[in-house]
Structure 1
Amino acid sequence: MRYAGEKKFNFWTVLTLILLALFLLFVIYPIGMLLAKSLFAGGQVDLSYFVKFFTKKYYWGTLVNSFKVTITSTLVAVLIGLPMAYLLRNVKIPGSGLLNILIVISYLSPPFIGAYAWIQLLGRNGFITRILNAVFHMNFSGIYGFAGIVLVFSLQSFPLIYMYVSGAMKNLDNSLNEAAESLGCNAFQRVTKVIFPLIMPSLLAGMLLVFMRVFSDFGTPMIIGEGYKTFPVMLYTQFMGEVGTNDGFAATLCIIVIIIALMFFFLQKILGKRFTYSMTALKPMEAQTATGWRKFLSYAVVYLVTFIAALPQLTVIVTSFIGTINGSLFTGEFTLDNYRNIFAKGNTSAIFNTYLFGLIAIAIVLVCGILISYLSVRKRSPLTSVLDVLTMFPYIIPGSVLGISFLYAFNGPPFLLGGTVLIIVISLSIRRMPYTIRSSTAIIGQISPSIEEASISLGASQIKTFLRITIPMMLPGVLSGAIMSWITLISELSSSVILYTSKTMTLTVAIYSEVIRSNFGNAAAYSTILTLTSILSLLIFFRVSGSRDLSI
């Protein structure tokens, strides 16, 4: 949107160039370094690393394992999330508001915390394992490997399907459902022939996010997978073991991950456009009171699934107050020793760093997100279009790949940022910025340009109008999105575990390190602090947004 007398090269153009330069430096340059290390050796094109990967089953077998885990977990998440969204939207369930919060919290906590909690419940010496073996005289040795990974990922990911589908169903016009009923369709036919096709775009979007989250996570397979190695685990171990001698192969693995991620991203875009429907809910669907066996079944499914999803968080909180022997064996006695350990001198840096880095990163995300969304909507040009595309790359690239690319790009001249606070903050900001940009773009699209035009016609400059009119109108929605970005930001592990040093350790890295060292008491205490922070942030989100509905 260009006003009369506005020059082509102005403040907004300069701002676009600055933001474009930042994304070129912190997104394209690191990816370019990965590509160069994987394709070139001695100044010539060398595909030996790719040949090494595809000719040795040890390497490509982990990719097959990842696809098995990812596809299975995504399908199970859909099988759980879809009915949950339907039941909570269409059936009056007592305490549905609390259930919604519990479901969201189970999604917001890092997956590897769920893996740790399920080990406490269903591991070799887990609480449920001991009960099963004692009561049924079984010899159950714990849920590890493929089954354990799928269990954790499915329960961690179905809330995302639930939120997307629930949001889509909120916008459905119930008159279509009533028309189908009047034409003789039963409840099953109405769901499969009317509701399901209309929510398909949202379901595909949710499935893509689940797929990318599961495919790129290495913490869960590392903790509960044991001998079942997935691609991210192999990538992490190869990088950590070979960074000084054969970093070209680690870069090649990163490029393979990026290619796979891009393929599924564009596939989702194509399918989304193919199945897209536009609808205004003149008569929204309303929850009905169920009776008889439908009431019993609906209540049983919703309460049972919610309880199982929230069980890892409850386990972590309870075990944080139970004493341990040498950190690994729980005594069964309630104590505050675990908290005394983590709050001892020198052990609080991870907590302090998490809040400090998170606040700095979210401030950067807020400022850049507002500016980029404004430029993309109000100042459309070839430059802003390129900027808009570049902002999507961190959304696609897995965190571990971003962390490795940052080390390759900024661990030596001319940009020596490795081991600093700055590289952690930048990685956190880059990782979470696409979410805020997309939400801000949607918000500014709802603000009529005539309001800004009226301000300019009364003598205010464009910059003053932007600061005094546009930003205040955007702020409530942007702040709500920023709080949600904050919750996911403080739970980030994939990039932080690669970039951290002893001075820049965060809560997620501290939890992961304690679990790997079998210091379960300390891990539970750290996890409880992170969980309570997420809950408090979620309550603030509800307060700011004025809503109890977290559907997407």
Structure 2
Amino acid sequence: MPAASWWRRADLVAAVVLGLAALILLVFLVYPISRIILNSFFRLDEPLRLANLTLEHFSRFASSSLYRKALLHSLTVSLAASVLALLIGLPMAFFVARVKVPGKTLLLSLGTLPLVVPPFLGAYSWILLLGRNGILTNLLKRTLGLQLPSIYGAPGIILAFTLGYFPYVFLLVYGALASADPSLEESAQIMGAGRFRITRTITLPLVTPAIAAGMVIIFMQSLGSFGVPAVLGGEYYVLTTLIYFQIVGYFDLNAAGAIALVSVAFTAVSLFLLHHLSQRRGYITVTGATRAARELQGRGIRAAAMAYCVLILAVALIPHLVILMTSFAETWGRGALPTAFSLGNYRRVFANAWSPMQNSLFLATIATLTAGVLGTLMAYVAVRKALRGRWLLDLTITLPFIFPGIAVGVAILSGFSSGPLVLSGTWLILAVAYVIRRIPYIFRSASAALTQIDPAMEEASATCGASWLRTSLRITFPLMLPGVLAGASITFSTLLGELSTTIILYSAQWKTMTVAIYEYLLADLLGPASALGTLLTLAVLASMLLANKLLGRTLGSLFRMV
């Protein structure tokens, strides 16, 4: 096939893909978002007429103490978690990257585990430890007479967010330190600069973008989280729980949409500040790392680094072992620990929650496959083809990054609970929401993989007479596969533990594992909740480990690929 004909056919395919992508994004992303933006300026059940425009839903943030407190609480716990995660993750990243500690690969993998476990399970684990009848609560009360403060409210939420999300800072800063050119620090050391001055003037500026990115991600994740505040919040309302009660209590999608837009506004501002910081300061090294930086080998610093890393990981991961123990607990005596163990909780879960387990696996699989195909094709168009409108495609796909999960749920419910396309009550509404939320993961990882593939290989294939389809199937897509698999594995694992969007959209027939766990917690059935939570964690870990095996990478490197 002549090269000119090959490229014309490729352009035709790209145009078709772009048109299909535009249609899908318009129907399932732009339309629902437009609906909640429009509806938020109208009262419930009022016609969408100019005369009925109102700012009532937004004015409640000025007139209602409940709304003001929810906004203040959301910002407080999100900012506090971001700062505390930085204080924990930054030293750990430095120790693993620059100190000769044993088992670095293991430390990186263990440091990633809090991101793998669904956040609301981490919140629940702290109830088992520090709740009113928690293991540590009872132990300290009986042995030392100490009465611990309540885990519910702001302290518990901040604790769960910090220990659940600090790996974002840890992994991003570690990656920045590992890729930084060590000659910069070595030159300063030769010129007589001390370790503190080198760290302050060279090392920290080099990793500032990674620090900022990690903190912004944690702020966004915390601001959009529903599960953690729902489990630990009590009467400490945040924006996400306020949205939930507007829908469950009043089914007022208009008011819920207005609250969601306020949350989106703060998320967008945080992203803008991150972009402004990166643009205003020229954080660029002249060369990448051609060799590893010299590691600190002093006995004291090695011991301190190892002790710090082990302590942080123990505090972050031991609560999840408590969930495992509780899942086998049959009876509890007066002591802190169970007095008898059995498989009773697992038998109960398999008898009553088999359907939610099937639903979670089915929905996560369907959504991952769909997002994988669409995200890969869209990435090919965005990277390889200079078609008009591809910048708009890139911008539209990134919108779900700005919208918290519960806001996406409100948008999808608002768009497809009435009108020409009704999806509420079906599995399709959950699948659509999952695809929309996670397609950016596939798109970004596939785009990054494609930019590293030399177009000359495709051009050589065309010159040799191969068709566009054969070239794509034999050369382009196989080379993109590691990046696509990285995005797909993160997508699948996070969808298994998804709650923020699901809690808005699920029906009785399509209840997922996370919803079933949440209902067990509301009913104070801690044993079944622990058993189902353990099964969920094992399913997520299995999917991640399978991806690691296929890609030959560690958990930490897998997250840094996306």
Q: TM-score range by the shorter chain?
A: over 0.9
For 2:152, which of 141, 144, 148 is the aligned residue? 144
Measure, in 1, the Cα distance between the counterparts of 2:231 and 2:412.
Answer: 25
For 1:87, which of 91, 95, 100 is the aligned residue? 95
Measure, in 1, the Cα distance between the counterparts of 2:483 and 2:16.
Answer: 27
Secondary structure class of the residue paired with 1:39:
coil
For 2:116, which of 108, 112, 123 is the aligned residue? 108
For 1:369, which of 368, 375, 379 is the aligned residue? 375
For 1:170-319, list aligned pairs within 5 A.
170-243=178-251, 246-275=252-281, 276-278=283-285, 279-292=287-300, 294-319=301-326
Measure, in 2, the Cα distance between the counterparts of 1:510 and 1:549.
Answer: 28
Could you report, residue by residue, the CA deviation over 1:166-220 in whole angstroms, capped at 9, with x for unpaired residues?
A: 1111111111111111122222222221111111112212111111100111211
Measure, in 2, the Cα distance between the counterparts of 1:330 and 1:419.
Answer: 42
Q: What residue ranges of structure 1 are gaps of 5+ in the alignment?
A: none
Letter in structure 2 aligned against 1:62: A
The corresponding residue for 1:18 is 20
How much identity, in percent, do the aligned residues show? 35
Contact 2:363 2:430 in 1 (8 A): yes
Of 450-459 and 201-210, the range deviating more from structure 2: 201-210
Contact 2:161 2:222 in 1 (8 A): yes
Letter in structure 1 aligned against 2:18: T
Task: Confirm whether residue 501 of structure 1 aligns to residue 507 of structure 2.
Answer: yes
For 1:441, which of 447, 450, 464 is the aligned residue? 447
Letter in structure 1 aligned against 2:254: G
Deviation, structure 1 residue 350? 1.0
The corresponding residue for 2:416 is 410
Deviation, structure 1 residue 25? 0.9
Task: Confirm whether residue 64 of structure 1 aligns to residue 66 of structure 2.
Answer: no
The corresponding residue for 2:139 is 131
The corresponding residue for 2:29 is 27
Measure, in 1, the Cα distance between the counterparts of 2:420 and 2:466.
Answer: 43
Deviation, structure 1 residue 7? 5.0
Of 536-545 and 232-241, the range deviating more from structure 2: 536-545
Measure, in 2, the Cα distance between the counterparts of 1:465 and 1:145.
Answer: 57
Measure, in 1, the Cα distance between the counterparts of 2:132 and 2:104.
Answer: 35
Of 134-143 and 21-30, the range deviating more from structure 2: 134-143
The corresponding residue for 1:356 is 362
Task: Confirm whether residue 335 of structure 1 aligns to residue 342 of structure 2.
Answer: yes
Secondary structure class of the residue paired with 2:389:
helix
The corresponding residue for 2:470 is 464
Deviation, structure 1 residue 549? 6.0
Structure 1 pair 98/332, CA: closer, same or farther in 2 (3 Å)?
farther
Contact 1:175 1:283 in 2 (8 A): no
Contact 1:323 1:330 in 2 (8 A): no
Deviation, structure 1 residue 481? 2.7
**How does the TM-score come out when normalised to structure 2?**
0.93
Contact 2:140 2:146 in 1 (8 A): yes
**How does the TM-score come out when normalised to structure 1?**
0.95
Deviation, structure 1 residue 144? 1.8
Letter in structure 2 aligned against 1:432: R
The corresponding residue for 1:528 is 534
Deviation, structure 1 residue 141? 4.6
Could you report, residue by residue, the CA deviation over 1:400-423 in whole angstroms, capped at 9, with x for unpaired residues?
A: 011111111111220110111111
Secondary structure class of the residue paired with 1:137:
coil
Letter in structure 2 aligned against 1:59: Y
Deviation, structure 1 residue 94? 2.5
Structure 1 pair 98/283, CA: closer, same or farther in 2 (3 Å)?
closer
Structure 1 pair 404/39, CA: closer, same or farther in 2 (3 Å)?
same
Structure 1 pair 182/494, CA: closer, same or farther in 2 (3 Å)?
same
Deviation, structure 1 residue 257? 1.6
Structure 1 pair 549/232, CA: closer, same or farther in 2 (3 Å)?
closer
Of 500-509 and 37-46, the range deviating more from structure 2: 37-46
Of 90-99 and 386-395, the range deviating more from structure 2: 90-99
Q: What residue ranges of structure 2 are gaps of 5+ in the alignment?
A: none
Measure, in 2, the Cα distance between the counterparts of 1:251 and 1:483.
Answer: 31
Letter in structure 2 aligned against 1:240: V
Contact 1:480 1:544 in 2 (8 A): no
Secondary structure class of the residue paired with 1:67:
helix
Letter in structure 2 aligned against 1:217: S
Structure 1 pair 332/96, CA: closer, same or farther in 2 (3 Å)?
farther
Letter in structure 2 aligned against 1:339: Y
The corresponding residue for 2:522 is 516
Measure, in 2, the Cα distance between the counterparts of 1:86 and 1:489.
Answer: 31
Task: Confirm whether residue 550 of structure 1 aligns to residue 556 of structure 2.
Answer: yes
Measure, in 1, the Cα distance between the counterparts of 2:239 and 2:79.
Answer: 14
Deviation, structure 1 residue 274? 2.7
Measure, in 1, the Cα distance between the counterparts of 2:189 and 2:555.
Answer: 28
For 1:395-434, list aligned pairs within 5 A.
395-434=401-440
Could you report, residue by residue, the CA deviation over 1:477-519 in whole angstroms, capped at 9, with x for unpaired residues?
A: 3213321221112111100111111211111111111111111
The corresponding residue for 1:492 is 498
Deviation, structure 1 residue 461? 2.5
Measure, in 2, the Cα distance between the counterparts of 1:50 and 1:271.
Answer: 30
Deviation, structure 1 residue 75? 0.2
Measure, in 2, the Cα distance between the counterparts of 1:145 and 1:473.
Answer: 48
Deviation, structure 1 residue 72? 0.5
Length, aligned pairs only: 543
Contact 1:324 1:521 in 2 (8 A): no
Measure, in 1, the Cα distance between the counterparts of 2:476 and 2:403.
Answer: 31
Measure, in 2, the Cα distance between the counterparts of 1:70 and 1:233.
Answer: 14
Deviation, structure 1 residue 424? 1.0
Measure, in 1, the Cα distance between the counterparts of 2:127 and 2:17.
Answer: 50
Measure, in 2, the Cα distance between the counterparts of 1:318 and 1:189.
Answer: 47
Contact 2:253 2:410 in 1 (8 A): no
Letter in structure 2 aligned against 1:348: W
The corresponding residue for 2:41 is 39
Measure, in 2, the Cα distance between the counterparts of 1:506 and 1:26.
Answer: 22
Contact 1:81 1:161 in 2 (8 A): yes
Of 16-25 and 96-105, the range deviating more from structure 2: 96-105
Measure, in 2, the Cα distance between the counterparts of 1:330 and 1:494.
Answer: 32
Deviation, structure 1 residue 27? 0.9
Deviation, structure 1 residue 384? 1.5
Deviation, structure 1 residue 118? 0.4
Of 147-156 and 93-102, the range deviating more from structure 2: 93-102
Deviation, structure 1 residue 331? 4.8
Of 458-467 and 211-220, the range deviating more from structure 2: 458-467
Measure, in 1, the Cα distance between the counterparts of 2:29 and 2:248.
Answer: 22
Contact 2:449 2:482 in 1 (8 A): no
The corresponding residue for 2:396 is 390
Measure, in 2, the Cα distance between the counterparts of 1:142 and 1:55.
Answer: 30
